[in-house]
Structure 1
Amino acid sequence: MTIDMSQFFQVFFDEAEELLAEMEKLLLGVEILSPDPEDLNAIFRAAHSIKGGASTFGLSDMTEVTHILENLLDKIRKGEMHLTAEHVDAFLAAKDILKMQLDGHRLGTAVDLDAVADVRMLLQSFVQDDLAPKAVPALSLAHISLSSKEHETYHHCFRVSFNDVKVADLDLLTSELSLLGLARSEKTEQGLDSILLNTNGTEDDIFAVCSFIVDADKMSIQSEQSAQAIGVEKQLTEDELGYGFFEPIESMFPPLENQDASDKAKLEAEKVAQQELAAIQAKNHHKKESEKSHGAQESTTIRVGIEKVDQIINLIGELVITQAMLTQRTQDLDPVSNERLLSSVAHLTRNTRDLQEAVMSIRMMPMDYVFSRFPRMVRDLASKLGKKVEFVTYGASTELDKGLIERIVDPLTHLVRNSIDHGIEMPATRLESGKSEAGKLSLSAVHQGGNIVIEVCDDGGGLHRDKILAKAKQSGLAVSDSMSDSDVWQLIFAPGFSTAEVVTDVSGRGVGMDVVKRNITQMGGVVDIRSAKGFGTTITISLPLTLAILDGMSIKVGEEIYILPLGFVVESLQPQIEDIKEINGKGRVIKIRHEYLPLIPLFETFNIVPKHTDPADGITVIVEVDGKKAALFVDDLVGQQQVVVKNIESNYRKIPGISGATILGDGGVSFILDVAAILRSVR
């Protein structure tokens, strides 16, 4: 039977990417002078897991990098080497190399071999510096120089025996176990491959290391009587006892007259050990099975392809439509004679709503998926610009639809880069202004009603009103000195707009902010800017939680029913005739509480025959997009309902003023209005 290994490779790729992201997060947050031992252990475990997986799948390039990285991390976590900023930089560079190698194996992208070699040499240089000769006396022991691990005092000695293990795997196991202490491979009298290990670790530690390479039923772990079992017969002179590394000779070697008795006892002990070998193997096998079972109980997540989730969501959408049809077709039934049927339909409606919310929550992902990308970027960019930036996040657990999360990454990246480049000042400038040397940049996310509000906030110099207006006039934009601050701030979203005096690889080309605005608007969101000179800038993005289902207001124009997204609706009213004014050649406006708003007759926008042509006879719905308001003139309000969004472009083509479609309860198709596009066409 042929086993498809691609599925296992994919699991490794996914897990390795998560481990690399976790490693980067921990490295960026580690305290150089007093690192948390738990953080160091977590970084080491991540590197060790990646190495084990890469070795299993034969990805030797990743194994070589992680091996050196793991050795360095092991020395640091054991206190044999002090952590420095240079170490952190090297480890981050190694993480980037591993990510590049991972993408090379998974996606077939190019791998910069020169960059790989440079990082390996950098890591190796730290190892060589640590192995430089120390000014300590050396011991001669059967012409073998003792390493620092041989000098260390160990409290346990274990023999790890293996059945049917490959030579390469045995070498790898010896190398891995040497991280726990002093290890040496040898054959037992029964011809089994084994490793003798002096360590301060436990059987569980040994089992955890070996389980990456061999199965539990092919290995056994046995405690040895002597903690000095590893090494050759040591013939020490009395002069060599003064260093304090060894026990007195009398305690290590029995007198000659007792040697025979000692040998007999040793042989007897080996017989007993061999008799217990099968029992130990059974015990280890049971232990592994138990851990598997325990791990299965503790596991709270499973990996599911996004296409499967999308399929379920589509089916739930069809179920919602069917349920709406049933509800509509039972509305005219006699409630007395059809009580049981109507009760069942009502019960179906409640269950469908609960099922819909539960399934939609599957696509929801925490904002930490986005926020975790920025600490490294902020660190590198601030260093490049010579600035000091303190980066903090709030609300990383706030959830957003996966489709929106993937599309919000680029806009947020532009905003964060602009805050560091344009917003936060140089350290000397901040000190002159009475601020702290390091600027503060924060990313936050919070739920507000049916939306998620994301803020990018810095305590820099703020936006310069005069400079923005001058640049806008130079670019030919229609501006005036009497414009409100909020209108002036919106100018930075104009295509090609930039106030940077020098074009760099960070900013200055005027490309980015207009893309930010367009992308967010396409997601049904809005952008707002608040800024005060000398105190900083806050950019707020408001997005719907999901694009698959939305709350809408059903409106009627002529014989057509349209869906107006509820997030854009401010209020609805029936206007008075005296509140409607005509502007020559400009259309009509409506006065709402001392504010004149453009009046947009939807029957003219979509070229259909209306029921009413006089706004005083119909209904006016006030909508707001990007801080701009307008009044939509419709014939009637039908109601409010939750609708399943269907894509039109993939099945037909782009329709001006329409963002999507849905299926109503009677089976008819209703268009969802693109409010932002309608308002832009009027302006």
Structure 2
Amino acid sequence: MSFDMDMSEFHAIFFEEAGEHLASLESLLLELDRDNPDPEHLNAIFRAAHSIKGSSSTFGFPDMAAVTHDLETLLDRVRKQEMPLTDHIIDITLAARDVLLAQLAHHQGGEPVAAEVVEQLITEIRRLAASADDMVVAPAVAAPDTVAVAEPAEVVSESSAADVADAVDADPVVSVAAASVTAEPVRAQDKPGNVVKMPKASTASETSIRVSVEKVDQLINLVGELVITQSMLAQTAQVGMNSDDGLDHEKLNERLQQLERNTRELQESVMSIRMLPVSSVFNRFPRLVRDLAGKLGKQIELRTIGEATEIDRGVIEKITDPLTHLIRNSVDHGIETEAEREAAGKPVKGIVTLSAYHQGGSVVIDISDDGRGLNRDKLLSKARERGVPVAENPTDQDVWQLIFAPGFSTAEAVTDVSGRGVGMDVVKRNIEQLGGRVELNSVTGKGTTISIRLPLTLAIMDGMSVGIGDQTYIVPLTAIIESLRPQAEDVKSVASRGRVVYVRGEYLPLVALHEVFCLTPKTDRPEQGILIIVDTEAGRHALFVDELLGQRQVVIKSLESNYRKVPGISAATIMGDGSVSMILDVSEAVRLGKRSPLACAV
């Protein structure tokens, strides 16, 4: 008896597992101590290649099986100590990993990998495996012009999607040349110098998430509790309708409170399904730092802290590019050359630290380096040269903020790593669009730290409901420092700054939200209303509102997709009475507050 099996239904599983093996292969290679490799690490690297080879053959991907067949032979010789581990073996294995990732992307709808690339890679792997001593690097094999891969995104899995993005988006062109010291990421080209933008492959991973059985069981239990509570509410209502005494309001209120608890627990459980560890982003950076450090002739160690910190998948997808840019800046601009570090009395090896942690209702990601730090005089000189407005006696924080000006760069020369003056303003704008903010601290000669504060999720937020005239607005709780009612004598008018309020030893700019949104307030006197002290990238400000209505958790609804972009507003939410309230974009509202109130008279 014989039958035909359609293997295509298993391909999604293969794509995900192969992506995980390739991600593991890269991370293990980057952790290896070349002079004293851990045998268990070597075995794990071999097993990753062996697993890809076996599943590639089983599911009908002979191109991947061919690469891993010869790679497996090389790795087997290394793990059996038949040949020593060298930098070149690590480099060629990383290059093989890049080609396998490109092949995997091809099978998911991307462009095919050029045959000559695969042929040259396999030839070099076989040469190494056949040699008992790869102590001298062989003459370079000419690097081919083309390795076509699909547009980077979530091509295989949460962990390996990042790797594909690096493989295509990084500036250097891939090289599987024998003489290559660094196995650089893959790049798509049709002719030398012409980068091809490949169409994005549509994959299952873009619309699916791995969920643990425990989380599914928890959801089922919570839905069961919800059904029970609904049944109890229905019974209470039915008994009340049939009773001469009417509804038992105390019991009804008790059931409603139970429903609220169940709904909150269900909401938290559902949201936890979208939460992913930031390691899915962090895992791509060791390779990026290694490749860039080799290209720039620097010794750099990347340290990661808090990889298990969880954040919403939607946030993770959008912070990849900003983090990549900031890491590249730290490696290129932040860390000095070996000679400069020695002259400054620093260790030759620079340190870049990437850390994540929860703080309040936010996730904070810090990118720190122990490099040269920012040069205040150089930044001011560049700002004046480019006509960027600068305060008369700027503080250090004012000067550091200059790097976020559009097109601002202090690089002496444009390179393929950085220096085009494009990026830091985009980084800041992208983070703010996520409801986050960027903070920067630097000490000349000691290093720089950039902190990114992000919301845990893009779907739900904690906010303070405020009244302005007959309208209700939501102020994100993460932006609020405190609220107070000022004394009349604490509010002053300054010719160059408008109204300010004296709070805890300093004067803060006062922004009347009824002027920003052209509303008729219940009072125009701050001492009769409420001031909300908020923290923005432009410093602390006091927002003047009529009243506080209470703290609440709100579901975020996009205005742009349902209506249009509204200045000073980031999103909207639906209140308990069915009315729509606007969610404040605090930073933009502060900027708008500096306009003339006459702008409302239209």
* Counterparts in 2 of 1:655 and 1:7: CA distance versus 1, 3 Å: farther
Question: Residue 527 of structure 1 is aligned with which of 438, 461, 464?
Answer: 438
2:373 pairs with 1:462: yes
Residue 575 of structure 1 deviates from its aligned partner by 2.0
After superposition, the C-alpha distances for 1:240-291 in whole angstroms (9 at most, x for unaligned) are: xxxxxxxxxxxxxxxxxxxxxxxxxxxxxxxxxxxxxxxxxxxxxxxxxxxx
Distance 1:39 1:557 in 2: 62
In the alignment, which residue of structure 2 is the partner of 1:379? Answer: 290
Q: How do 1:30-45 residues align onto structure 2 when only pairs under 5 Å count?
A: 30-45=32-47
Alpha-carbon distance change, 584 to 429 in structure 1, aligned in 2, over 3 angstroms: closer
- 1:393 paired residue number: 304
Partners of 2:473 and 2:365 in 1: CA distance: 30
CA contact (8 A) 1:648 1:660 kept: yes
Partner of 2:263 in structure 1?
352
User: Contact conserved, 2:278 with 2:311, CA < 8 A, in 1?
Assistant: yes
Cα distance between partner residues in 2 of 1:470 and 1:335: 79
Q: Which residue of 1 aligns with 2:163?
A: none
| Cα deviations by residue, 1:340-384 (Å, 9 ceiling, x for unpaired) | 111111111112112211211111111111111011111110010
Q: CA deviation at 1:586?
A: 6.1
**What's the counterpart of residue 523 of structure 2?**
612
**Deviation at residue 459 of structure 1 after TM alignment:** 0.8
RMSD: 2.9
Match of 1:190 in 2: none
> How far apart, CA to CA, are the structure 1 residues paired with 2:8 and 2:589?
48
Q: Secondary structure at the match of 2:482?
A: strand
Separation in 1, partners of 2:428, 2:206: 33
1:129-278 equivalence runs, <5 A: 129-130=131-132
Structure 1 residue 12 and structure 2 residue 14: aligned?
yes
Quickly say closer, same or farther: Cα 1:393–1:577, change in 2 above 3 A. Answer: same
Aligned residue in 1 for 2:125: 123
Partner of 1:512: 423
Contact 1:489/1:529 (CA < 8 Å) preserved in 2? yes
Structure 2: which amino acid aligns with 1:672?
Answer: I
In the TM superposition, what is the alpha-carbon distance from 1:131 to its structure 2 partner? 11
Partner of 1:549: 460
Aligned to 1:47: 49
Q: 1:50 is aligned with what amino acid?
A: I
Structure 1: gaps (5+ residues): 133-302
Pairs within 5 Å for 1:429-508: 429-480=340-391, 482-508=393-419
CA contact (8 A) 1:421 1:507 kept: yes
Q: Give the Å deviation of 1:452.
A: 1.1
DSSP-derived class of the 2:438 partner: strand
- Provide the rounded CA distance (Å) in 1 between the counterparts of 2:291 and 2:496: 55
Alignment match, 2:542 = 631
**TM-superposed deviation, 1:415:** 0.9
Cα separation, 2, equivalents of 1:559 and 1:26: 60
Matched residue count: 500
Measured in 1, the distance between the counterparts of 2:387 and 2:443 equals: 26
- The residue that corresponds to 1:167 in the other structure is none
Instruction: Kindly indicate whether the alpha-carbon contact (under 8 Å) linking 1:573 and 1:620 is maintained by their aligned counterparts in 2.
Output: yes
Task: Give the match for residue 98 of structure 1.
Answer: 100
Residues 58 and 3 from structure 1, CA distance in 2 versus in 1: closer, same or farther, beyond 3 angstroms? closer
Residues 462 and 640 (structure 1 numbering): CA distance in 2 closer, same or farther, change over 3 Å?
A: same
What residue in structure 2 maps to residue 163 of structure 1?
Answer: none
Give 1:645's aligned residue: 556
Cα–Cα, structure 1 residues 672 and 4, in superposed 2: closer, same or farther, change >3 Å?
Answer: farther
Q: 1:581 to 1:131 in 2, by over 3 A?
A: closer
Deviation at 1:519, TM superposition (A): 0.9
Q: Give 2:166's aligned residue.
A: none
Aligned to 2:116: 114
SS in 2 for 1:649: helix
3-state SS of the aligned residue for 1:650? helix
Q: Mean Cα displacement is larger for which, 409-418 or 70-79?
A: 70-79
Q: 1:3 to 1:615 in 2, by over 3 A?
A: farther
- Aligned pair 1:574/2:485, yes or no? yes
Which residue identity is paired with 1:674? D
Matched residue SS, 2:118: helix
Contact kept in structure 1, 2:463 and 2:551, CA below 8 Å: yes
Change (3 A) 1:557 1:368: same
User: Which structure 2 residue ranges, 5 or more long, are not aligned?
Assistant: 135-204, 595-602
| Distance in 1 (alpha carbons) for counterparts of 2:472 and 2:462 | 15
2-structure distance, mates of 1:359, 1:536: 41
| 1:427 and 1:437 in contact (8 A); partners too | yes
Contact kept, 8 Å, 1:335 with 1:342, in 2: the verdict is no
Distance 1:425 1:584 in 2: 45
Once residues 29 and 569 of structure 1 are traced to their aligned partners in structure 2, the CA distance between those partners, rounded to angstroms, is 42
CA distance in 2, matches of 1:455, 1:112: 39
Distance in 2 of aligned mates of 1:655 and 1:6 = 47
Q: Quote the Cα distance in structure 2 between the aligned partners of 1:5 and 1:668.
A: 52
* 2:517 partner letter: F
SS at match of 1:79: coil
* TM superposition score normalised by structure 1: 0.69
For residues 281-311 of structure 1, what are the alpha-carbon distances to aligned partners after superposition, in whole Å with 9 as ceiling and x for unaligned?
Answer: xxxxxxxxxxxxxxxxxxxxxx9944899xx
* Conserved 8 A contact 2:512-2:593: no
Q: 1:497 to 1:110 in 2, by over 3 A?
A: farther
Local SS of the residue matching 2:30: helix
Asked if the contact 2:513–2:593 (Cα under 8 Å) also holds between the matched residues in 1, the reply is: no
Report if the CA contact (8 A) 1:549-1:643 is conserved: yes
Partner of 1:377, secondary structure, is helix
Q: CA offsets per residue over residues 594-635 of structure 1, 9 Å max, x none?
A: 422232222222222222222222222121111512222211
The question of whether the paired residues in 1 share the 8 Å contact of 2:516 and 2:592 is answered with no
Contact 2:77 2:129 in 1 (8 A): no
2:328 to 417, 436, 441: 417
- The equivalences for 1:364-375 within 5 A come to 364-375=275-286
Normalising by structure 2, what TM-score? 0.78
Choose from 78, 81, 84 the match for 1:82: 84
> 1: CA distance between counterparts of 2:413 and 2:492?
49
3-state SS of paired residue (2:259): helix
Does 2:72 match 1:70? Answer: yes
Report the alpha carbon displacement of residue 587 of structure 1 after superposing the two structures with TM: 4.2
AA aligned opposite 2:79:
R
Structure 2 CA distance, aligned partners of 1:492 and 1:71?
A: 50
Distance 1:70 1:500, change over 3 A: same
| CA deviation after TM superposition for structure 1 residue 5, in Å | 4.6
- 1:448-481 per-position Cα deviation (integer Å, ceiling 9, x unaligned): 1111111111111111111001001111112246
- The residue aligned with 2:499 is 588
Provide the rounded CA distance (Å) in 1 between the counterparts of 2:590 and 2:246: 45
The 2-side partners of 1:409 and 1:304 are apart by: 15
Larger Rg: 1
Whether the aligned pair in 1 keeps the contact of 2:497 and 2:509 (CA below 8 Å) is no
> Which residue of structure 1 aligns with residue 198 of structure 2?
none
Percent identical residues: 56
Give yes or no for the alignment of 1:537 onto 2:443. Answer: no
Question: 2-side partners of 1:649 and 1:304: how far apart?
Answer: 23
Q: Is contact 1:558-1:611 (8 Å) kept?
A: yes
Structure 1, residues 523-574: CA drift from partner, whole Å, max 9, x if none?
1112111211111111111111111110000001122111111111111112
Query: 1:407-433: per-residue Cα shift (whole Å, max 9, x none)?
Result: 111111111111111111111221121
**Per-residue deviation, 1:673:** 0.9
Q: Secondary structure at the match of 1:646?
A: coil
Whether the aligned pair in 1 keeps the contact of 2:515 and 2:593 (CA below 8 Å) is: no
Alignment-derived partner of residue 593 in structure 2: 682
Cross-structure match for 1:142: none
Are the equivalent residues in 2 in contact too, given 1:555–1:635 (CA < 8 A)?
yes
Deviation (angstroms), 1:337: 4.3
